[in-house]
Amino acid sequence: MRKKIVAGNWKMNKDCDEALLLFKEINSLLQNTTAKQVEVIVLPSFIFIRDFVSLSFKIAVGAQNCSTEDAGAYTGEVSAAMIRSAGASYVIVGHSERRSYFSETNSMLSKKINAALKNNLIPIYCVGETLNQRNSGNHFKIIEQQITEGLFHLNNEQFKKTVIAYEPVWAIGTGNTATTSQAQEMHAFIRKVVAQKYGNDMANSCSVLYGGSCNAQNAKELFACPDIDGGLIGGASLKAKDFVQIVQSF
Ligand code: PGA
């Protein structure tokens, strides 16, 4: 059985008081629900990780990025070891905003994946095509390349710990969710690419999340697709009720 996951990517939102309030709200709403076996993850700014870990009942906490480097003179960077020491258990690697605004390449991201795994963080590796790439028919090629160059240096033991998130860039923050057939088609393709390298068992046990305007209204339909194992949620994760409703959408 694959792990079902709903992860809230808060991006660069919420100040200290607002973040604490939202986390507590999600925490208490989740306590009163009988959600099926779902791993719920909140990924706030680095500065909130430690507080959230100490407050959490059953929410796992993660970071949105980590450095390629272990330690040293890298002003402004945050290492995977630091994130782990704050109590986090996940880290997003290769979100499309990092790829486009901060010029993160597949080869750089493969180093971040190594840094995460070395420090016992589970990487959530994001892949996704732009609208131009989809319109020109290159979307499968792009996704395959992102997966191959970012992850395929891993051995079986390492790959087993990795989560993949398919987030079409044109769907992120735009309200244009991929249709269930577009999403399912790409998720099945991702699983096929993984199977070619690591075999069917590995492909069938790898959680592949969908992200891009996933919300309380469309989550049920998306999560019902056979190859979609949950969601990486941006905007809708900033509203406690919506986020918890998404958690209950399996
Ligand atoms: P969105 O963002 O849900 O606001 O589209 C998803 C993401 O960027 O992870």
Residue nearest to atom 2 of ligand 1 (CA): 234
CA–CA gap between residue 70 and residue 152 (Å, rounded) = 21
CA–CA gap between residue 11 and residue 5 (Å, rounded) = 18
Q: pLDDT value at position 208? A: 98
Mutate to test the pocket of ligand 1, among 9, 92, 249 (most ligand atoms within 8 A of CB): 9
196 CA → ligand 1 middle, Å = 29
Cβ atoms within 10 A of the Cβ of 115, count? Answer: 21
Counting Cβ atoms within 10 Å, is residue 101 exposed (0-12), middle (13-18) or buried (19+)? exposed
Q: pLDDT value at position 227? A: 98
pTM equals 0.97
CA–CA gap between residue 184 and residue 179 (Å, rounded) = 8
76 CA → ligand 1 middle, Å = 24
> Is there a catalytic annotation at residue 25?
no
Atom of ligand 1 at shortest distance to CA of 233? 3
CA–CA gap between residue 63 and residue 29 (Å, rounded) = 22
Instruction: List all residues 6 or more positions away from 121 whose beta carbon is below 8 Å from its beta carbon.
Output: 62, 63, 66, 80, 83, 84, 88, 89, 90, 91
Q: pLDDT value at position 175? A: 85
Q: Is 173 in the pocket of ligand 1 (CB under 6 A)?
A: yes
Tokens of 8: 């809230």
Q: pLDDT value at position 176? A: 87
Tokens 């918890």: give the residue.
244
- Terminal C-alpha separation, the chain: 14
Q: Is 9 in the pocket of ligand 1 (CB under 6 A)?
A: yes
Atom of ligand 1 at shortest distance to CA of 174? 5
Q: pLDDT value at position 35? A: 61
CB contact at 8 A, 165 and 151: no
Residue nearest to atom 6 of ligand 1 (CA): 234
Q: Is 215 in the pocket of ligand 1 (CB under 6 A)?
A: no
CA–CA gap between residue 241 and residue 115 (Å, rounded) = 34
Q: Which of 39, 97, 104, 167 is catalytic?
A: 167
Tokens 């945050």: give the residue.
78
233 CA → ligand 1 middle, Å = 5
Domains and CATH numbers, the chain: 5-247 (3.20.20.70)
Counting Cβ atoms within 10 Å, is residue 20 exposed (0-12), middle (13-18) or buried (19+)? middle
Q: How confident is the prediction along the chain (250 residues), in pLDDT tens digits per residue?
A: 899 999 999 999 999 999 999 999 999 999 877 667 899 999 999 999 999 999 998 899 999 999 999 999 999 999 999 999 999 999 999 999 999 999 999 999 999 999 999 999 999 999 999 999 999 999 999 999 999 999 999 999 999 999 999 999 999 988 888 899 999 999 999 999 999 999 999 999 999 999 999 999 999 999 999 999 999 999 999 999 999 999 999 9
> Is there a catalytic annotation at residue 167?
yes
